[in-house]
Amino acid sequence: MIFENVRLKNLVQAPKVQHPPQTEPTLFESNRPFTPAATAAPMVSSLQAQLRKDRWGKDASGLAYFLHQAKGKSSNIIEHYITTPGKITILPWDEAIQIIDKFGLLTAKLHLIFAAHTMRQDKAWESHFTLKGSDIIAELGWDKRTDLNKFQKLNEVAKAAFALGCLTIQATWVEGWDRKRVECSVQTSRMWETLVEVRGGQLNLKGKIDEPTEVYITVRPGLWTYAFLNKAGYEAKKALYQFGYLAQDILKIDPYHDELALRLGLHLTLESRFHTSGTYKVQTLLEALLPQTDINEAIENRDKAYKLTNRWNHALEVLSELKRAFQIEFDPATYPEQLRPGSKARKPRGYFERLLAAKITIHPPAPIPELLAAKTDPKLVLPKSNPAIQTVNSSTTTSTELTGEQIRLARQAKGWSQVKLAGWLGVTQAFVSNIEKGNRTLSKEMEAKLRKLLDIQD
C-alpha cells in the first residue's frame, strides 16, 4: 500500500445525485469557545504517537510500533501500530512509515476534533458521526488561508482523516488499586474508523470527481471508548469516564510560525484533566514536546541553547496572548526574571541548565480550570438551544467584575509599570497589558492575586 497514491478523489465517491448526509453541529459558538473532549490515556498516547514520530520503532517481528507506559505504574502500557484500511492488517516498518510520516500537527488537531465530537455520543463505541469538511476548515481557522484553495484544504483534511483511520491501539491498563481497580484493557482495534466521501465537482472521463466542493468524514470511535469513556460503566465502577476541555483558540494556532506553542497547547489540553496543579519543570515539558537529542544539543551548543530558549519563550508568549489566554506563572525561586519572555537582561552563564530546572505553572484558559475542578457534566456545554443549559453556561463563564481599567488605575496609583506587576504575578508583561485592555478573562485565583497586590476592594 503506497500512501502517496491515495488522492481525495480516489476515496469514497457519492453517486451523482444524492442528498448531503446529516452532519454534526459545529463545536464552537461565539459565546462558547470551549467544548468537552475525551482526554483518557489512549488519547494521550495516540497524540504522542503523532507528534513524537522519533519514538516509533520496530518490534521483534519488524512491525512498526509506538509504546506508551504509565508514569508510576509500569504495568500499564498502550501500544500503537499502523494498519491497512478495511480489515486490520498490521504493517511492517517499511510500509507503516509512509503513514507515520503523515502524522503531525494537522492530524493532532483533527484527533482532538474527533475526541470532542465523541463526547456528544451517548455510547461512543456503538456510535458514528459525520463531519463536514468545510466546518473542519473553519474550526482550524483555515477559512482565512489564501495560500490554498478550497479543494486543496479539503484534500489535506481528507488525507489527515485517512491517516488517523490507520492508527490502532492495544492496551493493558488497570486504573486504581486494590478494591478500586478498574480493568480498562483494550484488544487490538482502531483508534478511529474513518470514511471519507466526496461531493460536488465534475466527473472526468474516468468517472471520478475532479476538485470536489465538499467532503464528508464519517467517524466511528474505537473500542477504547468502552473502557475509558463509558458513563454508565463508570457509575457501575466497571469503566472510566475521562474528559477535559478543548479551547477553540488551540485549533487556530499557526503550526508554521508557532509550532512549539501549538505542541505545548495540545499537550496541556490533554494533561490538564489529571495534572491539575499545572506546575512543571521546564525540562519535563520540553522532553514531552521534543526529541531528547534537541535538548541534549542545546545543552552542549551555545547557539542551539539560544535558539531553543527563544522558541520556548515565544511559545509562552503565544499561549499568553491568545484571545482566551493560558494562565502562566513563573516560580520566583527557580525561574529568574532574565530568563522569562520579554526580558532584555543579559542571560547569566549556564542559563540554559537553569531554564531546564526552572518551575512554571500553566493553567488552561478560564473557565476550564473551574469546570475541571467542579467535574462539570459535559452535557452542560453541548450546543443545543436549551434555556436551562444556557443559564448554566452563562453563570459558569461570567467574567470577573474586576475590570481592566480598575487594574490599570490601581497599578498606576502604586507607581508600578506593567513589567513590575507582571514580575509580582509571575506572568508576562503582554499578559498584564491584555488584562488591562479587557482582552483576557481572569481566573478566580488571578483575580484574588490582583486584588491583594493592588489593594483593590471587593
Residue 393 has pLDDT above 90, yes or no: no
Residue 202 has pLDDT above 60, yes or no: no
Domains and CATH numbers, the chain: 3-252 (no CATH), 279-370+396-454 (1.10.260.40)
Question: Minimal CA–CA distance to 282: which of 334, 235, 213, 205?
Answer: 334
Question: Cell numbers at residue 176, please?
Answer: 486504581
Q: How confident is the model at residue 379 (pLDDT cuts 50, 70, 90)?
A: low
- What's the CA gap between 255 and 260, in Å, rounded? 8
Residue with cell 527563544: 310
Residue 458 has pLDDT above 90, yes or no: no
- For the chain, what is the radius of gyration of the CA atoms? 23
151-178 pLDDT, tens per residue?
A: 889 999 999 999 999 999 999 999 887 7
How far separated are the first and last CA of the chain, in Å rounded?
Answer: 65
> Which residues, in sequence order, are bridge partners of residue 79?
67, 170
Tally: H helices and E strands in the chain: 19, 18
Q: What integer pLDDT is reported at residue 11 of this predicted model?
A: 52
Range from 83-92, 245-254, 299-308, 437-446 carrying the lowest mean pLDDT: 437-446
Q: What is the mean pLDDT of the chain?
A: 85
Residue 36 has pLDDT above 50, yes or no: yes
Residues 321/394, Cβ–Cβ less than 8 Å: no
Q: How confident is the model at residue 193 (pLDDT cuts 50, 70, 90)?
A: very high
Q: Please list, residue by residue across 219-236, b when 16 or more beta carbons sit within 10 angstroms of its beta carbon and e when fewer do.
A: bbbbbbbbbbbbbebeee
Q: Which residue would you say has higher pLDDT here, 274 or 288? A: 288
- What's the CA gap between 261 and 311, in Å, rounded? 8
Q: What integer pLDDT is reported at residue 363 of this predicted model?
A: 93
Q: What integer pLDDT is reported at residue 387 of this predicted model?
A: 35
Question: Cell numbers at residue 123, please?
Answer: 455510547
Q: What integer pLDDT is reported at residue 18 of this predicted model?
A: 65
Residues 246/34, Cβ–Cβ less than 8 Å: yes
Task: Give the pairing of strands 192-199 and 12-13.
Answer: parallel
- What's the CA gap between 332 and 231, in Å, rounded? 42
Question: Minimal CA–CA distance to 241: which of 378, 110, 363, 374?
Answer: 378
Residues 431/320, Cβ–Cβ less than 8 Å: yes
- What's the CA gap between 48 and 55, in Å, rounded? 9
Secondary structure letter of residue 347 according to DSSP: P
Q: How confident is the model at residue 457 (pLDDT cuts 50, 70, 90)?
A: confident
226-263 pLDDT, tens per residue?
A: 999 888 788 777 778 889 999 999 999 999 999 999 99
Residues 105/265, Cβ–Cβ less than 8 Å: no
Q: What integer pLDDT is reported at residue 423 of this predicted model?
A: 65
Question: Cell numbers at residue 278, please?
Answer: 499545572
352: left (phi over 0), alpha (psi -120 to 50) or beta: alpha
Q: Which residue would you say has higher pLDDT here, 11 or 263? A: 263
Secondary structure letter of residue 51 according to DSSP: H
